[in-house]
Amino acid sequence: MGSSGLRVSELGLGTMTWGRDTDEIDAAEQVRDFLDAGGTLIDTAASYADGDAERVIGTLLSGKVARHEVVLATKAGIRSESRPDGGSGRVVDASRGALLDSLDESLLRMGTDHVDLFLVACPDPHTSLEETCNALRIAVTSGRARYVGLSNHPGWATARVATLLEPDIGLAAVELEYSLLQRGVERDVLPAADALGVGLLAWSPLGRGVLTGKYRRAIPADSRAAGALAGFVQPYLEGSAPAVVEAVATAAEGLGRAAGEVAIAWLLEREGIASAIVGARTPAQLRSSLEAATLELPYEVHAALDDVSAPEIGYPERW
């Protein structure tokens, strides 16, 4: 993981669906397949299914999976809060108290005394980076976390936090969305992380599912993405996205592999990637993603995918 001593597998197992769309039986099968394939990194968050994803992990760690077999990462800084109308909403809070309370609750749910990687889920405009760093420092010095990182933060914040933490605990990782359909990290986060020795964890390497080819220009009415996930997926069906998806599908057909495998294999070959986080609702979906680790793209295919998905780079990066 960057210049730290933390070692992670090139594919990480995401758990966003656990406790909601993926039950404990399927989760256990996913973990066993993942470990058998050489995987170690399991990525979760306190906010996934309002903590139920971590509870599923806790159940697995209590009997089916040995703690030393996995590198456990969790995120804090987003919580649910009741509204006056009786509903609930998401609140961003990366204050010292919120982060440490969330970490303690995560450890309790997972039945472990430490996580290997503790990340701040997203930027908090109301809390200074100095205070957030103080919480990360306490997490490490107290033994509750071995390494720390950021998620969904811009390059300048990554550089600032890395500088603040450099004298003692250091910043090990940044976790951001990165795929053929989302290459924005290449503008500033990836260069900053590389210069500072920070490893990049890439979430949603399948472009929110679009790069599997199951969605093209529209979301099928009978798809799960037609409901609550519609706003999450639809932007990746617009603009230049269809051309990228078609290029991936063409490459997959020529190589005799699944489109999703090609998309993940492209990402694994990018500079600076410590691990690509693959999530799956079912064990079968995960097994397909794991096959990507066995695929080495021909230079011509990789270059063609680079070209068709190239992001717009402007000032000041191109001067």
**Going by C-beta distance under 8 Å and a sequence separation of 6 or more, which residues neighbour residue 12?**
39, 41, 42, 43, 73, 201, 275, 276, 277, 278
Structure tokens at 246: 């078609």
115 vs 100: CA distance, rounded Å: 13
Active-site residue (options: 48, 147, 215, 236): 48
178 belongs to the catalytic site: no
DSSP bridge pairs for 181: none
Torsion angle of alpha carbons 304, 229, 203, 157, nearest 10°? 110
135-150 burial: b if 16+ Cβ within 10 Å, else e: bbbbbbeeebbbbbbb
3-state secondary structure at position 82: strand
252 vs 81: CA distance, rounded Å: 44
DSSP of 139-207: HHHTTSEEEEEEES--HHHHHHHHHHHTTTT---EEEEE-BTTB-GGGTTHHHHHHHHT-EEEEE-TTT
Going by C-alpha positions, the residue among 125, 176, 120, 177 that lies closest to residue 147 is 120
Residues known to be catalytic: 48
